[in-house]
Chain A
Amino acid sequence: MLDVATGDLLLVRFSPMNVEKFLQQAKDQADYCESLGEERVYSISTFGLVKSDDDVIEDLVARICKEAPCRGRTIWLVTASTLREEGYDAHLSEPPPHHYDVILGKELHLTDVERVVELFEHGRETNPAWRTR
């Protein structure tokens, strides 16, 4: 399981997880911004929670998967600090609860998408809440 420092944001991404689908979602999100009369921003949707002192990682993951209005067989984990080191910020975008956008920027570059997929791919897990609620 991933190592998460207290105060860091743990992000959970449900399927899909590949470059083609990330490119598609980033474009969809930018189109959606434009439809709202806003500037085009390319982003990837995730869910997350900040780790507190007494949180056990496994419990935090289970809580995100249980409380987020989302359900899938597989999840991928990454911390916001890991993303930030590579130049990508995660912005809270509720509703729904615990929803975050990972910002790729105002332009879409294949290298960004490939890097973000790579960062998530290391944290592949089975969703602990799958078939349990």
Chain B
Amino acid sequence: MENEVVIQPPDVRIEIDLNSRSRDGYVLARLSRADGPVLVDDQVVVFEPGDRIAAPAHVVRVDRARDFVYLDVDWVRMDDDPAYGRSPQPVMVGLRNRLSNAAAAVSMRFRATEHIWVLNLMEPEPQAAIRAVTR
């Protein structure tokens, strides 16, 4: 769509125990400890607050029924956590900040919950202005 701005929300952050592993060797974490929605194949940031470190990770599996997420952590990139000491910023707050910088757009596409949402800024009817599309 013309004048559509794609809003990339900040990566979801998940607290991990650096030692915890599943039987197939992935880092095992609780899905409920993520600060936003998590889908298979997502890139997320894992962090350990005691050591004040963080690293990118790939979501390998999600088990919503049992509240587990299986993560392939990029250990080589584990380093000081740039977000340490900042107030937690839920994904939707980061998204709102990015939306405010895209005033010239006619529509915006962003992901929240498990859907991609398209917000049509030219649509006067609020309920018609936003729709969910499958990923």
Q: Which residues of A contact B (CB under 8 A)?
A: 13-18, 21, 24-25, 28-29, 31-32, 35-36, 44-47, 69-74, 93-96, 99, 133
Contact = CB atoms under 8 A, between A and B. Distances in A.
A32 B51 contact: no
Contacts of B21: 45, 93, 95-96, 99
Given A32-B28, A35-B63, A13 B51 contact: no
B22 A45 contact: no
A15 B28 contact: no
A74 to B, nearest CB: 6
B126 interface: no
A77 B20 CA distance: 17
B63 A14 contact: no
Interface of chain B: mostly helix, strand, loop or mixed: loop
Interface of B: 17-25, 28, 30, 48-53, 55, 63, 66-68, 73, 75-76, 78
Nearest to B66: A35
A129 to B, nearest CB: 10
A99 B27 CA distance: 12
B51 A73 contact: yes
A74 B49 CA distance: 12
A87 B49 CA distance: 30
Contacts of B63: 35
9 contacts: A14-B19, A28-B20, A29-B20, A35-B68, A44-B19, A45-B19, A70-B18, A71-B53, A99-B25
